[in-house]
Structure 1
């Protein structure tokens, strides 16, 4: 939980583990985030993880988190570690 006022945008940072690089995962994540009205990024990290940063309404971030953990992701997700905080003003949604 965060100490943000109810309705204030939040920032989700999720580290996605598994076979998630080279399988269209970042593109898929960007598409789902945009459908949910979120802003942020999906970035490949050394070691095969992907970092997902998404900002917007808490409910939309929670929905994206559920999708990241769901059976429809490209590749194979074995673990998602998330943290929530205050939004920082991301613009658009980019793949890095």
Structure 2
């Protein structure tokens, strides 16, 4: 399963990308995460459907006390881009 996410809230300058990468690696997911100029974070994640769902649930909870996720836009794709790892762009 592949999900493309745009995440808004207090997600820049609070360790979101690093925390998102660590959680993805813990769940054996691949993809990438990057900050956008508008203050949101863009993320693409691939892997087993149940792990992707668990991952998105963890993102919604904020991952750390410093992160506050207000909204996540999700797009699902059946295409797999075959990433090798989860990277921070």
TM-score, normalisation: structure 2? 0.90
- Which moves more between the two structures, 60-69 or 71-80? 71-80
Gaps of 5+ in 1: 1-9
Gaps of 5+ in 2: none
Determine the C-alpha separation between the residues in 1 that align with 2:28 and 2:76: 17
Instruction: Tell me the SS of whatever aligns to 2:24.
Output: helix
Report the count of equivalent residues: 87
- Which moves more between the two structures, 11-20 or 66-75? 66-75
The structural deviation recorded for 1:72 is 3.5
1:89 and 2:67 are equivalent in the alignment: no
1:20 and 2:11 are equivalent in the alignment: yes
Q: After superposition, what is the alpha-carbon deviation per residue over 1:38-80, rounded to whole angstroms, capped at 9, x for unaligned?
A: 0001111111111111111111111111111115444211101
- The aligned counterpart of 1:4 is none
Where has structure 1 moved over 6 Å in runs of 4 or more?
none
Highest CA radius of gyration, 1 or 2? 1
- The aligned counterpart of 1:77 is 69
- The aligned counterpart of 1:64 is 55
RMSD across aligned positions (CA):
1.2
